[in-house]
Chains A and B, each alone.
Chain A
Amino acid sequence: EIVLTQSPGTLSLSPGERATLSCRASQSISNYQLAWYQQKPGQAPRLLIYAASSRPTGIPDRFSGSGSGTDFTLTISRLEPEDFAVYYCQQYGSSSLTFGGGTKVEIK
């Protein structure tokens, strides 16, 4: 099973700042098979990024993903008030899908 480690656990930032979230895998993830989700309290996770760097229709371009192999990054270029939430990475490069433990982006 591929273990995903997200860092930092909590990121304290102000609106307008740049957020950089990390997701590190215990083994290489093939074919960029990594997704990022945003979750707000009481809501289901929302897909932000798939295939490491692709954005679904409707996701603002301030969200971007990068990386390959074992190291992936989600960047929020300028935080909007609605971006304060918990973010999870997920790998789907193996037969057992796994999630990272999450990064909470909170208002400083």
Chain B
Amino acid sequence: QVQLVQSGAEVRKPGASVKVSCRTSGYSFTVYYIQWVRQAPGQGLEWMGWINPNSGSTNYAQKFQGRVTMTRDTSISTVYMELTRLTSDDTAVYYCARAPSRLTYFDHGGQGTLVTVSS
């Protein structure tokens, strides 16, 4: 079955960076896009961007451009999301999610990774 398994919770200080991994299985890694979405505590969902695991091409939401980098390692069917220059506003649960194409809905998601930014 389709699975997206994310790395564990992280705590960072303001100004630091964090890299979250998303290991996929149960489907052909290069056929589906991966989107990243985050959710601040008690808040709604916020789209961050997508990566095409086949080509490595990416598209980031304007809000995160310059601070986010999405990469992939096809040898282990894993996608990464790195966010730099963290502030307390970046405290959130980060989700990776599988999408049929670059601009579309997502049909399977990871369990989420809580990133806490605190001094």
Q: Are both chains from one complex?
A: yes
Q: Would you call B107 an interface residue if the criterion is a C-beta within 8 Å of the partner chain's C-beta atoms?
A: yes
Question: Which B residues lie within 8 Å of A102 (CB)?
Answer: 44-45
Query: Given the complex of chains A and B, what is the CA–CA distance between A96 and B64 in angstroms?
Result: 12
Question: Which A residues lie within 8 Å of B95 (CB)?
Answer: 44-45
Q: How far, in Å, is B68 (CB) from chain A's closest CB?
A: 14
- What band does the interface of chain B fall in when counting residues whose beta carbon is under 8 Å from A? 20 to 34
Contact pick for B105, options A47, A96, A101, CB 8 Å: A47
Spell out B's residues near A (CB within 8 Å). 35, 37, 44-47, 59, 61-62, 95, 97, 103-107, 109-112
Question: Which A residues lie within 8 Å of B103 (CB)?
Answer: 33, 92-95, 97
Question: Which B residues lie within 8 Å of A50 (CB)?
Answer: 104-105, 107
Contact pick for A99, options B44, B59, B111, B112, CB 8 Å: B44
B59 near A95 (CB under 8 angstroms)? yes
Q: Would you call A84 an interface residue if the criterion is a C-beta within 8 Å of the partner chain's C-beta atoms?
A: no
Question: Which A residues lie within 8 Å of B105 (CB)?
Answer: 35, 47, 50, 90, 92
Type the 1/0 row for A31-50, where 1 means its CB is closer than 8 Å to any CB of B.
00101010000001111001
Query: Given the complex of chains A and B, what is the CA–CA distance between A98 and B49 in angstroms?
Result: 11
Query: Given the complex of chains A and B, what is the CA–CA distance between A76 and B112 in angstroms?
Result: 27
Q: How far, in Å, is A20 (CB) from chain B's closest CB?
A: 20
Question: Which B residues lie within 8 Å of A101 (CB)?
Answer: 44
A88 near B44 (CB under 8 angstroms)? yes
Question: Which A residues lie within 8 Å of B45 (CB)?
Answer: 37, 45, 88, 90, 99, 102
Among B45, B97, B109: residue with most chain A CB under 10 A = B45
Residue of B nearest to A48 (CB): B105
Contact pick for A56, options B46, B62, B107, B111, CB 8 Å: B107
Query: Given the complex of chains A and B, what is the CA–CA distance between A96 and B35 in angstroms?
Result: 12
Query: Which 4 A-B pairs rank lowest in CB-CB distance, beginning with the nearest?
Result: A44-B109, A35-B105, A97-B47, A99-B45
